[in-house]
Amino acid sequence: MAELDITSPLLSSPSSYQPQTVLTVHDYQDSEPSNLQSSLPTTVLHQNHNHGRTRNENGHHSSPNPYEFLRSGGFSVPASTTVDPFRNETPFISGIYEVIKIVLCLPIALARLVLFGASLVVGYMATKVALAGWRDKQNPMPKWRCRLMWVTRVCARFILFSFGYHWIRRKGKPAPREIAPVVVSNHVSYIEPIFYFYELFPTIVASESHDSIPFVGTIIRAMQVIYVNRFSPTSRKNAANEIKRRASCNVFPRVLLFPEGTTTNGKALISFQLGAFIAGHPIQPIIVRYPHVHFDQSWGFISLPKLMFRMFTQFHNFMEVEYLPLIMPSDHQKQNAVRFAERTGRAMASALNVVQTSHSYGDLMLLMKAAQLQQEKPWIYMVEMARIESLYHISSLEAVDFLDKFLSMNPDPSGCVKPHDFLRVLQLKACTLSEEIFGFLDVEKNGSITFKQFLFGSAHVLKLPLFRQACELAFAECDTDGDNFCTKKELADVLRHTFRELDDDEVQGLFNLFDTDNDGRMSRDDFFYCLRKNPLVIAIFSPRLLRKNLSKAGDKMLEDIV
């Protein structure tokens, strides 16, 4: 079994998401059918001479598959969930009651702001004293320093009071650290870390960026925070090892993690990262609720200043904390963090009476990117990234790059792109092959594609085992003089096997797509970088790859492909 890291998704790839449609290669306008068919094994391709199209397992006609030369069997796109785990339900002030309440609470808000500022300053100064001269950060904080931190913990309770949490309802009790060295909690607001700091004073796992936050960065350093860069595999692995080390040693405080990795609106649990479960220690789940009628306290898709202002102008904010029974890993689950995380997630979702979705922090990145580019409905671009990461091992950063490309295609308000804009951005000439590339993504056959279809299709092609070999062969075809560079003329000669009538402007458009550093020539690195960013474009080289007699080494790779 592959080693699990701290950001691996909870859910493994369900078998129902495997490709369900077998497609065939279409005879392009300049192909020689007899030669092409004779070179392909009959077990791979099934040509339909009567219709020139393919049938799926239900007997319905579908477009030819332009990627069958890579042994693609097509792909399926799972239905999207209607749950939006990041949307704050009350982002705007609405209603006479809310307006009157805010006006009445403005003097109270000023007093609360003073209390908040004073508590933060006093807590910061106490923390600075507690940290003064302490160099050995790899071992637990000495007890006398921990006693000084009680001043900061009391200040944290005053901060909660200033935000309107005058009392907090608790259910159950935290288990002793010796029994449950790891606790996990759902994450709805910035309020939970403040509460847990006061209540448990645990070691936490936090993003490296938190260290630079004024005042707060100093305070969380006193909690002997385990920093992690979610985009660095090395950082994630080091954090997982550090969690295991501290959880195994009773002299350290208990370790607190928010396995969702980001805040949600509390209406669902999203996929769990595995850092809390790799060590295989008993875990105590904690769930937090924020009952409300008029004001949603979740730190969903809402700015922090606006959320703080709304909290300051409430008479009282309700918060409930429930300590759930311990979850003990079985002997098998000590070796399988995914199964352990699944059990914990089910227990927490059941106690919260919510569903658990395959969304992740990557979906929040997509949401923020779409909002940044002023999309009318940014939430429609969420794709449940944990599922895609599990199926295709596409990172969140790669998904954001694909979204950037998709949004350049000028989607309509419903998030759909038409063929004209799709071909324009990918610099593809309108022809049979281009139609097939678009039809490959248009799984619903309605003449438009969504971002989810674009992402699933691109990821499917990118992760085909023969994709890399096809890129190697395609560049070898373009580099006719063997100098590891491709000129515009060399590219045009290859592309004319795909597009019979290709004018100079169309060649220049495709050349610019590949010439990523704009130096007037296409290097090997340029070529591979472009195809990784635009994997669908590999199809334009398929007629040449399927017809050309290459060198012995190339013949072996071509045999693998076809």
- The pLDDT score that the predictor gives to residue 49 is 31
- Residues 283, 381: Cα–Cα separation, whole Å: 34
Q: Which CATH superfamily is domain 361-463 in?
A: EF-hand (1.10.238.10)
Q: Which CATH number fits domain 96-356: 1.10.20, 3.40.1130, 2.30.30, 3.30.70?
A: 3.40.1130
209-218, 220-229, 284-293, 530-539: least confidently modelled range: 209-218
| pLDDT, tens only, 405-445 | 999 999 999 999 999 999 999 988 888 889 999 999 999 99
Which of 15-24, 62-71, 140-149, 202-211 has the highest mean predicted lDDT (pLDDT)? 140-149
| pLDDT, tens only, 526-550 | 899 999 999 999 998 888 777 654 3
Pick from 494, 493, 502: nearest CA to 473: 494
Is 50 exceeded by the pLDDT of residue 375?
Answer: yes
Residue pair 207/273 in contact by the 8 Å Cβ criterion: no
- The pLDDT score that the predictor gives to residue 190 is 93
CA triplet 474, 478, 484: central angle to 5 degrees?
100
- The pLDDT score that the predictor gives to residue 54 is 46
Is 80 exceeded by the pLDDT of residue 52?
Answer: no
- The pLDDT score that the predictor gives to residue 110 is 96
* pLDDT tier at 551, thresholds 50, 70, 90: very low
Is 80 exceeded by the pLDDT of residue 501?
Answer: no
- The pLDDT score that the predictor gives to residue 560 is 54
Residue pair 296/88 in contact by the 8 Å Cβ criterion: yes
- The pLDDT score that the predictor gives to residue 15 is 39
* Mean pLDDT on 138-156: 91
CA atoms within 13 A on the CB side of 301: 20
* pLDDT tier at 556, thresholds 50, 70, 90: low
Question: What does the DSSP 8-state code read for residue 231?
Answer: T
Look up the pTM and report it: 0.82
Check for a shared fold between 361-463 and 466-560. Answer: yes
* Mean pLDDT on 379-394: 93
- Residues 533, 516: Cα–Cα separation, whole Å: 11
- The pLDDT score that the predictor gives to residue 309 is 94
* pLDDT tier at 332, thresholds 50, 70, 90: low
Q: Give the mean pLDDT of the chain.
A: 84
Is 60 exceeded by the pLDDT of residue 499?
Answer: yes
- The pLDDT score that the predictor gives to residue 544 is 78
| pLDDT, tens only, 512-524 | 888 877 777 788 8
* pLDDT tier at 224, thresholds 50, 70, 90: confident
Is 50 exceeded by the pLDDT of residue 144?
Answer: yes
Amino acid 501 reads E
- Residues 327, 127: Cα–Cα separation, whole Å: 34
Is 60 exceeded by the pLDDT of residue 23?
Answer: no
Identify the CATH number of the domain defined by range 466-560.
1.10.238.10
Is 90 exceeded by the pLDDT of residue 158?
Answer: yes
- The pLDDT score that the predictor gives to residue 334 is 60
Is 60 exceeded by the pLDDT of residue 48?
Answer: no
- Residues 59, 346: Cα–Cα separation, whole Å: 39
- The pLDDT score that the predictor gives to residue 86 is 94
Amino acid 58 reads N
| pLDDT, tens only, 57-76 | 334 455 689 999 898 988 99
* Mean pLDDT on 216-236: 86
Is 50 exceeded by the pLDDT of residue 482?
Answer: yes
> Domain spans of the chain?
96-356, 361-463, 466-560
CA triplet 431, 440, 43: central angle to 5 degrees?
105
Q: Which of the two residues, 171 and 521, has the higher pLDDT score?
A: 171
Is 60 exceeded by the pLDDT of residue 558?
Answer: no
- The pLDDT score that the predictor gives to residue 217 is 83
% of the chain with per-residue pLDDT over 70: 85
- Residues 473, 555: Cα–Cα separation, whole Å: 10
- The pLDDT score that the predictor gives to residue 32 is 36
| pLDDT, tens only, 272-285 | 999 899 888 999 99
Packing angle of the helix pair 385-392, 396-407 (nearest 10 deg): 110
17-31, 180-194, 199-213: least confidently modelled range: 17-31
CA atoms within 13 A on the CB side of 208: 9
Is 70 exceeded by the pLDDT of residue 36?
Answer: no
Q: Which of the two residues, 350 and 559, has the higher pLDDT score?
A: 350
Is 60 exceeded by the pLDDT of residue 56?
Answer: no
- Residues 194, 156: Cα–Cα separation, whole Å: 6
% of the chain with per-residue pLDDT over 90: 53
